[in-house]
């Protein structure tokens, strides 16, 4: 039996570093929460943080999704058919009664004699991916590694509103380019991200053509600096850290020809990254004073590897991590520790993450951040004992809630991702939409859970007397749970 | 004890009712309706939070009432007079539609009624109310759902299942039998009451969140106020603790129930009845809620059209409130309360009550209106006569371990 002091600390730690205490309480992990956190990292290291895909997992590889997308596009173009309504949307069986639903109904399957190839994308694919993503957050006891996934996914943000292609690939992008590397090497993640079809299409690099390349000479097309600029400004060194416009342009040249195979050929697989010499700007290119010799994709890869170990990158990452986990203005000592760990280990993210867990500044209770909307939603689901979202349609109201709260899944307003400061979220509109989400979570809580028990389990000794009283006086279970979810102890981490 | 009570029966346990003697009207279950093709509609409205029965239907003939309910007591006169139902009881002035139905013999009140639950937790009380179980802790299904399951297979009512209105169906309709769901379109906003409680909590503990929420609530209010003089809201809808929300929920349910191939049974929940502070009397917070309930009943009447004559609307709450007003002009959790019955199938125009009195010694634990009628007796009486379910099945499957609670007869015309 853990002491009250241990329990208090454990609840604090699961909120700060994880996704909130699960419905059955903190009891099982309260004894030595620091060791439990390290254990989660060690388990992630030994078992790997990638998740299975392909086969019968229900999660397709990005190449398979890309193929399905192309088949659909080709079919629709040839058939000149209007695009059918997204089959992932629930049907309205009775006109005039919007919202009618029948218990246990399966998502509508495409029907009719003419089945559009790939007609489950992008919407049904997106729902499947969303349900899987949320499910990953519901399993672990703490969820520190999943928080790292969320952090890095936002660091290397793509946005589904770019179009159907990015929307189709958004989940696969995270599974393939982010998740496997959150305890690996930063440079590996960087290379995986910048060569992933979703990122190449999101930031237009598949269209970028070296002016002196064969393609450039023939097609009068040219350089697109979009991806190169965001690599420097957002993904590695950070804005204002000493690179120039000439460096942006030069980096853009080194990664010309980084694109996606649109069709299968003897040496290309549709939907995979390819280096197209035809589009690549020939010659040596210099970035930040280093000249990279011509020689295919390696030229850009070498440039990225150097960016990954640039001191400005270490500082940029360290500051963002510290800000995310502790405070809008993080303690410079914490930033310094993370920066040093990043440099000393050549960007070993497991080492950096463990440094965060060991740093006394990260455990200071006088620092705090509001849960981001997604974290809030997952914490609410965990608190009421949801263990998974098996039906893709169950995810619809949750996605609506995320949209309402301003954090639509995989859909920030730009490549800089969602803001990560308290002021951006603790706003008038933010609080009312959180309140509505809390009410929805309260109404949808499975089973009949007594809010007083849920409070005792998920906040334990950290619940203030005022919160306890407010929850116990609620006039329904639903209201009691909503008040619990909105309580300051649940909103801040 | 009022004079009226004494004239009807020597017992201080009198049955009051303008329609005369209740028992003896008929003990025969009216199987004929179910078998003979009466196409009934049954609507259960759950009031979450514990409605103050003494405020909703005031025993103004009881000499102890005014002393207990103080400034909140309803009056026969004044600017907002209560609506007399008989010589003893008067209805809250916020419920003119219910009063009109009562006058037509299409509405009745059961007073001093409660479930078998005698503690004062909302959560447990609602569980007992909706599960129909004899005690707390069994919440896998509700009594309306088990009623449907108990009906003969293929029977019209059973075939069409029950309708649960709201984002999640109330427990009373949940269970093995098919449940149709309907919710007003779009995520309904959280209730005003929830926001008020949260502001109160933030005010005590977190000024940062308090300020943001305050601005958010103000903005919404502004949006509502600027929506135009006809009160039409631009996209925003009331929650189930607002009069607009209650009416909207009832309108939607009526539309589905009125359809020939629609469900015959529906349940919905209205919230916000936990009036610990500033409950109000003839006007105020409770009056607003009762007005919402009244509007919902009217919406059901209108929406069901010709089906109204075969309809029963039953309004229930988990328990009542203290007979005395507390220190914050409200009432605390109590025991006996009222159940409203409305619909063309109700043998109405009467208040059904075995009135326990309001003297100190009459009050349950010295504080609450005593419950002299088991709510299950009322429900069983309705279900027997409407659906032809046997008393044995009701006592075993629908309300387990309630064999001793006899169905109240004569509630249905």
Measured in whole angstroms, how far is the alpha carbon of residue A297 from the centre of its chain? 27
User: Would you call B113 helix, strand, or coil by DSSP?
Assistant: strand
Least confident of A390-399, B94-103, B273-282, B384-393: A390-399
| Angstroms from A224 CA to nearest CA on chain B | 41
CA distance A44 to B193: 45
Within 8 A of A487 by CB-CB distance, chain B residues are: 201
Considering only CB atoms, B212 lies closest to which of A397, A426, A439, namely A426
Q: Are residues A267 and A412 in the same domain?
A: no
User: Quick check: is A130 in a domain?
Assistant: yes
Question: How far is it, in rounded angstroms, from Cα B19 to Cα B41?
Answer: 24
- Strand residues in B302-359 grouped as ranges (E): 311-317, 337-342, 350-354
Q: For tokens 């334990």, name the residue.
A: A460
Residues B31-46 have pLDDT tens digits of 334 434 689 999 999 9
Mean pLDDT taken over chain B:
84
CA distance B124 to chain A (A): 8
CA dihedral B75, B81, B87, B92 (to 10 degrees): -90
Residue B412: beta bridge partners? B346
Which candidate, A143, A125, A175, A187, places its Cα nearest to that of A14?
Answer: A143
Q: Which residues of chain A have a CB within 8 Å of the CB of B279? A: none
What is the rounded distance in angstroms from the CA atom of residue A175 to the CA atom of residue A64?
Answer: 14
Min mean pLDDT across A135-139, A426-430, B282-286, B288-292 is at A426-430
CB-side neighbour CA atoms (13 Å) of A225: 11
Which residues in chain B have their CB less than 8 angstroms from residue A464's CB? 205
Q: Which of B192, B223, B267, B181 is nearest to A436 (CA)?
A: B192
Give yes or no: residues A71 and A165 share one domain. Answer: yes
Residue B194 to residue A96, Cβ atoms within 8 A:
no
pLDDT of B169 reads: 76
For A97, which of B122, B126, B182 is closest by C-beta distance?
B182
Which pLDDT score, from 0 to 100, does residue A392 have? Answer: 66
C-alpha closest to that of B220 among B197, B259, B192, B248: B192
A61 and A170 share one domain: yes
A347 within domain boundaries: no
A171 & A263 share domain: no
Last residue of a domain, one of A308, A340, A372: A308
Q: Is residue A171 part of a domain?
A: yes
| ipTM given for this complex | 0.86
A18 and A151 fall within a common domain: yes
In a domain, A276, yes or no: yes
Task: Calculate mean pLDDT across residues A267-272.
Answer: 92
For residues A165 and A239, state if they share a domain: no
Give the confidence band of B193 by pLDDT, cuts at 50, 70, 90: confident
The pLDDT score that the predictor gives to residue A94 is: 39
User: Do A56 and A146 lie in a common domain?
Assistant: yes
Collapsing DSSP states into helix, strand and coil, what is residue A420?
A: coil
A131 and A231 share one domain: no
List all residues of chain A from 441 to 470 with a beta carbon under 8 Å from chain B: 443-444, 447-448, 450-452, 464, 466-467, 470
Q: Which residues pair with A258 in a beta bridge?
A: A275
Asked whether the CA dihedral A262, A264, A265, A269 is positive or negative, the reply is: positive
Q: Which of A94, A476, A491 sits opposite B48 (nearest CB)?
A: A476
Instruction: Note the pLDDT of residue A164.
Output: 87
A242 and A375 share one domain: no
Instruction: Examine the fold and report which residue of A308, A324, A341 is the final residue of a domain before the chain moves on.
Output: A308
* Alpha-carbon dihedral B10, B14, B20, B22, rounded to 10 degrees: -120
- pLDDT, residue A93, reads 40
Averaged over A268-273, what is the pLDDT? 94
Gap from B267 CA to chain A (nearest CA, Å): 15
The candidate with the shortest Cα–Cα distance to B381, out of B351, B352, B410, B403, is B410
A101 pairs with which residues across the strands? B181
CA-to-CA distance for A346 and B59, rounded, in angstroms?
A: 81
Q: Using one digit for the tens of pLDDT, what is the confidence trace for A126-173?
A: 999 999 999 999 999 999 999 999 999 999 999 998 888 999 999 999
Q: Which domain range does residue A429 map to?
A: 1-80+119-176+364-493
Expressed in angstroms, the distance from the first to the final Cα of chain A is 25
Burial tier of B84 (Cβ tally within 10 Å: 0-12, 13-18, 19+): middle
Contact between chains at A440 and B180 (C-beta distance less than 8 A):
no
In sequence order, the 6+-apart residues with CB closer than 8 A to the CB of A40 are A140, A141, A142, A144, A145
| DSSP 8-state symbol, A162 | G
Domain for residue A89, yes or no? no
Classify B107 as helix, strand or coil.
strand
Q: Is residue A424 part of a domain?
A: yes
The number of domains in chain A is 2
The verdict on A167 and A219 lying in the same domain is no
Query: What pLDDT is recorded for position B156?
Result: 77
**Selection from A226, A268, A269, A266 nearest residue A248 by Cα:** A226
Question: Among A313-317, A355-359, B177-181, B345-349, which is the least confidently predicted range?
Answer: B177-181
Q: In which element (H, E) is residue B199 found?
A: helix B192-205
CB atoms within 10 A of CB A294: 13
Rounded to 5 degrees, φ, ψ at A184 are -105, -145
Cβ–Cβ under 8 Å, residues B408 and B338: no
∠B316-A438-B163 over CA atoms, to 5°? Answer: 40
A265, A282, A308 - which closes a domain: A308
In a domain, residue A243? The reply is yes
One domain, residues A419 and A290:
no
* Together in a domain, A150 and A277: no
Q: Which of residues 332-391 of B touch A (CB under 8 A)?
A: none
* B32 interfaces chain A, CB cutoff of 8 Å: no
Q: Which residue has the higher pLDDT, B274 or A111?
A: B274
């Amino acid at each position: 039996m853990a002491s009250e002091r241990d329990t208090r600390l454990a609840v604090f730690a699961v909120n700060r570093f994880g996704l909130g205490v699960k419905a059955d309480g903190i009891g099982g992990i309260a004894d030595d929460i620091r060791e439990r956190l390290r254990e989660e990292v060690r388990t992630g290291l030994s078992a790997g943080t990638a998740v299975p895909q392909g086969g019968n997992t229900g999660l397709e590889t990005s190449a398979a999704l890309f193929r399905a997308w192309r088949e659909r596009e080709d079919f629709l173009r040839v058939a000149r058919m209007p695009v059918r309504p997204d089959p992932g949307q629930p049907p309205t069986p009775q006109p005039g009664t919007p919202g009618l639903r029948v218990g246990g109904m399966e998502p509508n399957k495409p029907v009719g004699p003419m089945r559009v190839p790939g007609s489950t994308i992008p919407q049904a694919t997106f729902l499947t991916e969303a349900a899987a993503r949320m499910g990953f957050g519901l399993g672990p006891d703490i969820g520190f590694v999943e928080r790292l996934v969320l952090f890095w996914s936002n660091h290397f943000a793509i946005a589904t509103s770019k179009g159907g292609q990015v929307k189709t690939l958004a989940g696969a992008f995270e599974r393939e380019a982010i998740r496997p590397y959150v305890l690996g090497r930063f440079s590996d993640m960087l290379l995986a991200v910048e060569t992933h079809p979703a990122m190449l299409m999101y930031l237009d690099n598949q269209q970028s053509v070296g002016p002196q390349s064969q393609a450039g000479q023939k097609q009068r097309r040219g350089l697109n600096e979009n991806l190169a600029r965001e690599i420097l400004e957002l993904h590695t060194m950070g804005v204002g850290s000493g690179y120039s416009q000439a460096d942006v342009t030069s980096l853009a040249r080194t990664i010309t020809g980084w694109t996606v195979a649109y069709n299968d050929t003897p040496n290309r697989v549709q939907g995979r990254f390819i280096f197209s010499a035809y589009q690549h700007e020939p010659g040596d290119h210099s970035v930040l004073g280093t000249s990279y010799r011509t020689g295919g994709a390696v030229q850009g890869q070498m440039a990225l590897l150097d960016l990954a170990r640039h001191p400005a990158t270490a500082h940029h990452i360290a500051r963002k991590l510290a800000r995310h986990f502790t405070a809008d203005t993080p303690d410079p000592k914490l930033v310094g520790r993370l920066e040093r760990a990043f440099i000393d280990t050549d960007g070993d993210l497991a080492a950096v993450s463990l440094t965060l867990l060991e740093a006394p500044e990260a455990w200071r209770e006088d620092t705090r951040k509001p849960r981001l909307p997604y974290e809030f939603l997952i914490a609410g689901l965990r608190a009421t004992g949801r263990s998974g979202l098996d039906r893709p349609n169950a995810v619809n109201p949750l996605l609506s809630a995320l949209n309402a709260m301003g954090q639509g899944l995989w859909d920030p307003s730009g490549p800089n991702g969602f803001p990560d400061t308290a002021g951006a979220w603790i706003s008038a509109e933010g609080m009312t939409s959180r309140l509505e989400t809390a009410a929805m979570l309260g109404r949808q809580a499975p089973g009949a859970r007594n809010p007083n028990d849920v409070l005792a389990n998920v906040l334990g000794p950290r619940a203030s007397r005022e919160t306890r009283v407010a929850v116990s006086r609620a006039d329904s279970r639903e209201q009691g749970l909503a008040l619990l979810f909105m309580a300051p102890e649940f909103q801040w981490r | 004890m009022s004079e009226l009570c004494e004239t009807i029966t020597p017992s201080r346990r009198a049955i009051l009712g303008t329609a005369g003697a209740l028992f003896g009207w008929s003990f025969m279950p009216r199987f004929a309706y179910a078998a003979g093709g009466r196409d009934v509609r049954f609507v259960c409205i759950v009031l979450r939070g514990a409605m103050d029965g003494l405020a909703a239907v005031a025993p103004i003939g009881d000499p102890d009432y005014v002393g207990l309910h103080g400034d909140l007591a309803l009056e026969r006169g004044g600017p907002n007079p209560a609506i007399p139902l008989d010589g003893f009881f008067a209805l809250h002035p916020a419920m003119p539609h219910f009063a009109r139905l009562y006058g037509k013999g299409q509405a009745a009140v059961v007073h001093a009624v409660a479930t078998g639950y005698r503690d004062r937790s909302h959560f447990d009380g609602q569980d007992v109310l909706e599960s129909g179980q004899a005690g707390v802790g069994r919440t896998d299904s509700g009594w309306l759902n088990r009623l449907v399951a108990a009906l003969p297979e293929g029977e019209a009512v059973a075939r069409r299942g029950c309708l649960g209105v709201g984002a999640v169906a109330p427990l009373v309709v949940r269970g093995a039998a098919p449940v149709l769901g309907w919710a007003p379109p779009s995520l309904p906003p959280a209730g005003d009451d929830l926001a008020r409680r949260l502001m109160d909590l933030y005010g005590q503990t977190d000024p940062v969140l308090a300020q943001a929420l305050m601005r958010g609530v103000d903005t919404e209010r502004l949006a509502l106020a600027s929506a135009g003089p006809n009160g039409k809201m631009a996209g925003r809808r009331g929650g189930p603790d607002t009069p607009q929300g209650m009416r909207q929920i009832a309108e939607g349910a009526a539309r589905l129930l009125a359809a020939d191939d629609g469900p015959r049974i529906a349940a919905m929940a209205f919230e916000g009845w936990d009036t610990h502070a500033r409950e109000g009397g003839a006007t105020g917070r409770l009056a607003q809620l009762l007005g919402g309930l009244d509007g919902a009943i009217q919406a059901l009447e209108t929406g069901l059209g010709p089906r109204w004559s075969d309809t029963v609307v039953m309004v229930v709450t988990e328990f009542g409130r203290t007979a005395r007003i507390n220190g914050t002009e409200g009432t605390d959790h109590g025991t006996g309360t009222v159940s409203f019955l409305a619909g063309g199938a109700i043998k109405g125009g009467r208040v059904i009550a075995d009135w326990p009195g309001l003297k100190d010694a009459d009050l349950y634990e010295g504080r609450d209106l005593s419950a002299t009628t088991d709510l299950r007796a009322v429900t069983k009486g309705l279900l027997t006569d409407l659906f032809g379910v046997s008393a044995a099945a009701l006592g075993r499957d629908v309300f387990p371990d309630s064999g001793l609670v006899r169905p109240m007869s004569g509630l249905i015309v």
